[in-house]
Structure 1
């Protein structure tokens, strides 16, 4: 193969991710031409409605997948946390890249950390996972929905619509936007557990041996172990973006630790659990942790969470 085409969204973060993969592939395979095919997805067009109400994060991948199935592109680069657990026939998850900083971060023009936010401060996020954990820490906060790309969200913060907003640290680091606001403060995983797959890139590919061989150089062994545990956990819980789920696995040499939290969007009821094992346990650890929270009533709690989210929040 002499030419590889990447289907990508047109947002600054999506383009950064695709350009990064393009450069890495061209470096690994001298003589290979990599081209970007930029397209608009439904998730990019509908900016006034929360994702959970219009179909979830798959809205950012559907058009890219259709282009690949039509033979117009070979791969698509996504933030792994946005990648659905199942793929259309003919496509597969070919690569999981090395992770950036997995933590969420608070951005503010006035306050340096969550503890400094005054009573009743307005915080922007559309993530039910973040909402749940923020309100469990600070029930007094007013959480308001925040859509748009990273730059749009920062603009809304600077225009005074919010006292603070919560974004993924990885996206801010990749775009070099930390200096755009007065305070950029990553939040400890002890306070807010990240989303499944956060800070890794997932490269979706056509189910073709040559394409898979070309892109496999970008796989990261630790990231594969960690994110497979996280994705297994979410899959067994049957949890999409309409429910609040935080799960994070981390490799420490041959040791593997995973912790998770699920609950209601207002943080009033939550189930949190953790498990440890060896690196070799990654094929079972996520499922085992999911079963542990299911035995505590997790599925029933998530059903209530989804109803609350769709009827009261969105």
Structure 2
């Protein structure tokens, strides 16, 4: 049932209730309000906060909570029931398979996909002292950072961005690892001590991008979101998500991927993608890079190359 106010359609936007989720949802709504005015729709928007399983369980690492879609399942249920009309997700939280009846309606322009360090001292990974204690909740980050610096002591921290930054002090850590995009969206770039190059730490699938999810049968919303979609970001993210799907991976296993457009080939966009699968201890880190013009095929090809080297066995052992 569509919600109306003075004859206008009210679009209810579902989101997690963290400061970052609300900030990025507010930015999306600002963009959609502008687009709807420009195209004579003039919709009204309102936010509905939804608590997800990943938000409720904060005392164990994400990899031990289990399951896929830890931060999206309850929001998707609200979409299917008609309680909300669209949802704003961090793309890296979205599982490959969406529920029947839902779709990614738009992938806005991506911001910096890299991970970054917030450090007590120094301005690069090399500046961390030997045996430094580094906080992260991500097996993907732990695997790659341990591979780059086997002396580092990776420690699990959970919570939203500001609570993790506080733990740098309260838990006596030397550094914490976060997604650069989240800090950028909060306007906290000045807190970043060092960016971690993608050749050292590949980002999570879709990191730096948002996914705007909607119902397939809602033509008005689909039309609005089509005007918001960034084609280049969408294509790159499709390749990364195809890779994730081919490996049947969730967002909490040591899988990373990054795809970018590097040129054209016969009129098609030429994509370059690197994917990785690693063991949590960083001892084994498998990487493959390929180029292609078909994003879904490219993702599958990179995944197949990694499987041929044993990636499936690594993921099976971890429970991915």
Q: TM-score, normalised by structure 1?
A: 0.92
Query: Residue 126 of structure 1: CA displacement?
Result: 1.2
Matches within 5 A, 1:250-289: 250-254=260-264, 255-277=270-292, 280-289=293-302
For residues 289-314 of structure 1, what are the alpha-carbon distances to aligned partners after superposition, in whole Å with 9 as ceiling and x for unaligned? 1111112221012212348xxxxxxx
Instruction: Report the more deviating stretch, 139-148 or 247-256.
Output: 247-256
Alignment of 1:243 onto 2:234? no
For the 8 Å contact 1:56–1:241, the answer to whether it is kept is: no
1:163 paired to 2:174: yes
Instruction: State the 1:243 CA deviation.
Output: 2.2
Q: 1:46-69 CA deviation, whole Å, 9 max, x = no partner?
A: 111122222345121122112112
Verify the 8 A CA contact 2:94 2:251 in the aligned structure 1. no
More helix by share: 1
Say if 2:176 is the partner of 1:176: no
The CA deviation string for residues 150-186 of structure 1, in whole angstroms up to 9 with x for no partner, is 010011113353100000000011101233x4x5211
Give a deviation string over 1:178-205, Cα, whole Å, max 9, x none: 33x4x52111111111111000000111
Measured against aligned partners, the alpha-carbon deviations of 1:129-149 in whole angstroms (never above 9, x if no partner) come to 100000001111110001000
Deviation at 1:248, TM superposition (A): 0.5
Structure 2 unaligned blocks of 5 or more = 1-7, 265-269
Alignment-derived partner of residue 267 in structure 2: none
Give the TM-score normalised by structure 2: 0.91
CA distance in 2, matches of 1:66, 1:43: 15
**How many angstroms apart in 1 are the aligned matches of 2:112 and 2:63?**
25
Distance 1:20 1:210, change over 3 A: same
Q: After superposition, where does 1:34-113 map in structure 2 within 5 Å? A: 34-56=45-67, 58-113=69-124
- Alignment coverage as a number of residue pairs: 303
Moved over 6 A (4+): none
Rounded Cα–Cα distance in structure 2 between residues aligned with 1:59 and 1:106: 24
> Following TM superposition, by how much is the alpha carbon of 1:103 offset from its aligned partner in structure 2, in angstroms?
0.5
Q: Which residue does 1:131 correspond to in 2?
A: 142
Q: RMSD in angstroms over aligned alpha carbons? A: 1.5
* 2:307 paired residue among 294, 299, 310: 294
Residue 242 of structure 1, CA deviation: 4.2
**Alignment partner of 1:20 is 2:27:** yes
CA distance in 2, matches of 1:238, 1:63: 21
Aligned partner of 2:128 in structure 1 is 117
Q: Name which of structure 1's ranges 90-99 and 140-149 shifts more when overlaid on structure 2.
A: 90-99
Q: Tell me: CA distance 1:221–1:81, structure 2 relative to 1, closer, same or farther (3 Å).
A: same
**Gap change, CA 1:158 and 1:267, over 3 Å in 2:** same
Q: Which residue of 1 aligns with 2:4?
A: none
User: What's the secondary structure of 1:218's corresponding residue?
Assistant: coil
Secondary structure in 2 aligned to 1:105? strand
8 Å contact from structure 1 (residues 193, 246) kept in 2: yes
Structure 2 CA distance for aligned equivalents of residues 281 and 58 of structure 1: 26
Partner of 2:198: 189
Question: Which of residues 145, 148, 157 is equivalent to 1:146?
Answer: 157
